[in-house]
Amino acid sequence: MSAALAVAAIAVAGCGDDDEDTESAKKVEPGAAEQAKGNVNWCIGKDTTGTFSKAVKEFSSQGQVKANLIELPAAADEQRTQLVQRLQAKSSECDVLGMDVIWTAEFAAQSWLQDVSDIVAERKDVWIPSTLETAKYEDKYWALPYNTNAGFVYYRTDQVQEPPDNWQAVYSEAAKGDGIVYQGARYEGLTVNFLELLYSAGGKVLSDDGKTVEIDSPEAVEVLKFMADGIEQGAAPKAVTTYMEEESRRAFESGGATFMRNWPYAYSLGKDSKIAEDFDITTFPKFGEGEGAGVLGGYDVAISAYSKNPDGAAAFAEFLTSPDWQKTIMTEASLPSTLTKTYDDPAVQKAFPFAVKLRTAVEQAQPRPVTPVYPQVSEAIFKNVHLALQGKMAPDEAIKTMKGDIDKALQTF
Amino acid sequence: MTAEAVPRSKSGTPARGAAGGPKGSGRGRQALLWLAVIAIMIFCLFPFYWLINTSLKTGPDLSSANLLPPNPSLKNYDSIFTDADFTTALRNSVIVASITTFFALLFGSFAGYALARLRFRFKFVILAIVLSISTFPPIAIAAPIFKLWTDTGLYDTLLGLIPPYLTFSLPLTIYILASFFKEIPRELEEAALVDGATHFQAFRKVVLPLAAPGFVTAGLLAFIEAWNQFLFAITLTSSPDARPVPAALAFFTGSQKFEVPLGTITAATVVITVPLVIVVLIFQKRIVAGLTAGAVKG
Amino acid sequence: MEAATVARPRRRGSGLSERRLAAAMVSPSMIVITLVAAYPIGYAIWLSLHEYSVRVPGLSRWSGLKNYDTALSSSEFWEALRNTFLFTGISVTIELVLGIAFALAMHQAFKGRAVLRATVLVPWAVLTFGSGLLWRSIFEPDLGFANSMLSALGLPGGDILWLGQEGYAMAVMICADIWKTAPFMALLLLAGLQVIPDDVYDAAKVDGASAWQRFLRITLPLLKPAILVALLFRTLDALRVFDLPFALTGGANGTNTLSLYAYQELTANRLVGLGSALSVLTFLIVMIVSFMYIRFVGGNIRGLADER
């Protein structure tokens, strides 16, 4: 059932057929999960809400397979470094991997993941379609979508009558009020913020097959200029170029901003703060004429190619993505589910008053560029966007440099 | 430049006595001296005190800058000691550092003796090699060792940590022990040799016992060096079973996405540091002697 | 101190000749060092001459000096180099000055010296990585001690994002290093002070030399050997700094150092060839500095190898 791993000896990157990278990956068959036994380790970031431990306990009590939680650092980047280190050492320590949605292509291309296309195919309809895109690479599925995330515009209800329906209006209202805060520091979060606007404007980073760069478009320049002007003209404070999620959340919660772009997690925290009564959220407005669009966050669960118990791992992954457990993570951990039906559940709607808005946001969100060299591509993006935001580079020059940097990234050997 | 940088000692020699004359006013000088001493003590102790202070705070207190914990509690310590990963890391560190120290002393005393006493060619070369190791940037060999250990199965094991740790503890150990050996009067060994002992027996029976204080110093310094190792700790281990304490500390920290667990981090740091501080204080004379051996002789 | 060398007595016992014994005694250490340092460095150089595919597992190709070219033409490398030297220059200088000042203060004969010496060892005993975390917490924006104190005292700077801005982050890193090491320097120098005989000073006082002159003409020159050795080790340590920037900022905001940069390329970016080239370059830089140093200071090290 599991083919032996063959090292692919292919000519230099950039060319080659579509499926060559992952031709000989291991595959896990559905149904194997049912006869599974033994132990599995689940490697995922810090269990800040306690639901991860609960999951392994619950799962272990249900059947033959015993699950065990191995916590990685809380920061996604550090989780990746930890997983990469183990996978490069071919360690069998982790059976089930908690994968940030942007790692799929990279890990799959390295043959670190098992092909779970058949497992996904069995239940394909239960998942929100956009979330499945994050688990796909080269037309195969490499993980089961576990939790998702999409950003919102938070706004002060005491300062804004009706949330504007396009970004331009948001910024001009912000300029008149206390401004908009978002994640503008020099990191992955900035890539997300930039892409949200870019996608709304109809722009793209890569072609659909991931092989050519399409960032050097008038839309991209327009979006970047819009963001840079926003800071220069005071719609967004200068400090925003040092903000990550927490800094922007704190700025908004302390009453220092009229608008904020952030993930859903800030909603419940905001309801506990001094502005509890005075804010609400809305899905992303459009940029100019286009449709509002977002960028998908979240985590998928994958099975390590070096796992000694892939069947047990599959069983656990199925458990994590089952309707019951998806409901639990949403109500108890505030992690948005990847299953469509979960959002209709009354208990979920009680915990998330904006549940349906959230599902809409997820449905209209898109994944970040799918490429095995995503880290380099992302750096090319946030590096140059940051320079433009700081006023150190003109937007059109920044986009041109960005194209050059992404080109180089795609040429990575 | 920084908020609390203490100004340099006010009684540096230049300020000796207001009058500046050879017999400068004793009182003025004394006062300045005391001021300097206090300044030094604050400089050294305050951050450490702050560490302990923070570790006794929980919840909202952590966000305040109170000099004394408003609600002192041992909760942070409790939570790190019940964290199996942390206690395992402590155990790992103790094991690896102890084994490293043992071998550092063993190999180091042999090499130190040879360098200090025996005549042989290439002595300077050997010495240069040994000293040059102490200038090696660990990063230069981290990736190769990672690859080697991955291929040989030593990755993620306590055993795998020992060779790199040993390599970086050896130079100082050799240097210190060699200096101590040199201090011992040659006549004693020569007497033994005249009596028919071999060089090695002279080493074992005459020199070693006399150099015992040097071993304490060298052992302590080797232990501290191994205890502090960070780069190898994070590169060569991944599972809690093999991870030493500095790497485990790196895991305590995390993103800015969630609350920074300042309480537990500082508690962990205190736990890791306090025993070391106590040991260092007990043996301070030896440590100072060891550190300065050779530096002064010039 | 040196006894006149006696004619070497005839060995009567059996046992290895001096040379063989020396070889035997030195070999365990040499073996460890060769295995763990020499061979890996060779391997690192080998790795640096290849490129390892980031996309395709197991694929590599010979690339000669290309990685070095990439490294030397990357702005990040030069920035890391600049940061490392800046950090080294400033922190070692301040540590030396403070170290001399502390040593002088500790040297003035008075009671309680043991306590002071103990106090001074405390920063050095704190786990290096732990001290990095400690300083990070002190300079946390809002919650940290530094900003709270500044605000409480009404001084400017209470809202500085210390670790979030270039320049300030480096300042914090230097501060952290000084805290940890200046006391250590002081100890090294104190021992040097202690061997200077009092009568030298007394003679100078009698001749009418002022305190400052005594310091310049007597103390400093006699302290020179100790200063030079302390400087050497501190400089080499500072050039290799890794734990501090890792703990404080992860290398952001102008604190990326040579070692940390090489580490990032190796682990986060998985560029084994480039990372190895950077590691080798770091190694070379440190070696060059140490060689240059030893040229000037060489006498001290040779002393150890000389027969007495």
Q: Residues A70-90: pLDDT tens digits?
A: 888 877 888 998 899 999 888
CA distance A355 to B298: 75
CA–CA separation, A168 and C69 (whole Å): 45
Name A366's bridge partners: A295
CATH of domain C74-307: 1.10.3720.10
Question: Which residue of chain B has the CA closest to A43?
Answer: B239
Q: Scan for tokens 């060999």, then name that residue.
A: B141
A11 compared with B279, residue with greater pLDDT:
B279
Nearest-Cα distance to chain C for B119, in Å, is 7
End-to-end Cα, chain B, rounded Å: 36
Residue C283's alpha-carbon distances to C46, C242, C257, C262, C276, in angstroms, are: 14, 14, 13, 11, 10
Task: Establish how many alpha carbons lie within 13 A of residue C248's alpha carbon, considering only the half-sphere containing its beta carbon.
Answer: 35
Short-list C304, C9, C1, CA closest to B199: C9
ipTM score of the complex? 0.82
Report the b/e string of A22-59 with b at 16+ CB within 10 A: beebbbbebebbeebeeebbbbbbbbeeebbebbbeeb
Give the residue among A281, A239, A238 at the shortest CA–CA distance from A262.
Answer: A281
Q: Is the per-residue pLDDT at B9 higher than 50?
A: no
Whether A10 has a pLDDT exceeding 60, the answer reads no
Contact call for residues B150 and A306 (beta carbons, < 8 A): no
What digits encode the pLDDT tens for the residues B232-271? 999 999 888 899 988 888 876 543 333 457 777 788 888 8
Is B297 a residue whose pLDDT tops 90? no
Q: Which residue among A10, A250, A376 places its CB closest to the CB of C56?
A: A10
Residue B158 pLDDT > 90, yes or no? yes
Check pLDDT > 60 for residue B82.
yes
- Euclidean distance between CA atoms C202 and A122, whole angstroms: 94
Contact B92, B242 (CB under 8 A): yes
pLDDT at B92 over 70: yes
pLDDT in tens, C177-233: 999 988 888 877 887 787 778 888 888 888 877 777 788 888 888 888 778 878 888
Task: Give the confidence band of C109 by pLDDT, cuts at 50, 70, 90.
Answer: low
Q: Is the pLDDT of residue A280 over 80?
A: yes
pLDDT at A18 over 70: no
Res C78: pLDDT = 95
The DSSP string of B203-268 is IIIIIHHHTHHHHHHHHHHHHHHHHH--HHHHHH--STTT--HHHHHHHH---SSS---HHHHHHH
DSSP annotation of C36: I
**SS3 call for B121:** coil
Ordered by start, the domain boundaries in chain A are: 29-149+296-366, 152-295+373-410
Give the separation between CA B26 and CA A363, rounded to whole angstroms.
82
State the Cα torsion A94-A98-A100-A101 to the nearest 10°: 110
Residue A109 is nearest to which of C55, C142, C165, comparing CB atoms?
A: C55
Q: Residues of B numbered 147-186 whose beta carbons fall under 8 angstroms of chain A's beta carbons: which are they?
A: 150, 155-156
Asked if residue A251 lies in contact with residue A270, where contact means CB atoms within 8 angstroms, the answer is: no
Cβ neighbour number for residue C42 with a 10 Å cutoff: 13
DSSP string, A16-42: S-TTSTTTT--B--TTGGGG--EEEEE
pLDDT at B130: 84
Q: Does this chain's domain A29-149+296-366 share its CATH topology with A152-295+373-410?
A: yes
Most confident of A124-138, B205-219, C42-56: A124-138
Residue in B closest to A71 by C-alpha: B251
At residue B129, the pLDDT reads: 85
Chain B positions touching C206 (Cβ under 8 A) are 22
Site from A39, A41, A42, A46 to mutate, B interface, most B CB atoms within 10 angstroms: A46
Q: In Å, what is the CA distance from A170 to each residue of A155, A189, B69, C162?
A: 10, 20, 44, 31
Tokens 């001009």 correspond to: A172
For residues A199-215, give the mean pLDDT. Answer: 89
Task: Give the strand pairing for A294-295 and A140-141.
Answer: unpaired
Distance CA A285, CA A292 (A): 5
Does the pLDDT of residue A6 top 80, yes or no? no
Q: What dotted CATH number matches A152-295+373-410?
A: 3.40.190.10
Question: Residue C19: its pLDDT value, please?
Answer: 79
A131: part of which helix (H) or strand (E)?
Answer: helix A129-133
Each domain of chain C, given as residue ranges in start order, spans 1-28, 74-307
Q: Which residue of chain C has the CA closest to A412?
A: C54
The type of residue at C252 is: A
Pick B257's closest partner by Cβ from A71, A90, A245: A245
Is C270's CB within 8 Å of A85's CB? no
Phi, psi of B182 (to 5 degrees): -65, -30
Closest chain B C-alpha to A351 CA, distance in angstroms: 20
Is the pLDDT at A53 greater than 80? The verdict is yes
B178's tokens: 């060699």
CA distance to partner chain A, nearest, from residue B164 (Å): 18
| Architecture of the domain spanning A29-149+296-366 | 3-Layer(aba) Sandwich (3.40)
**By mean pLDDT, which of A151-155, A297-301, B38-42 is the weakest?**
B38-42
**pLDDT for residue C274 is more than 70:** yes
Asked whether the predicted pLDDT for residue B6 surpasses 60, the reply is no
pLDDT at C24: 87
> How far is it, in rounded angstroms, from Cα B199 to Cα A311?
64
Nearest to C290 by CA among B84, B136, B109: B136
Contacts of A109 in chain C (CB under 8 A): 55-56
DSSP conformation class of C62: E
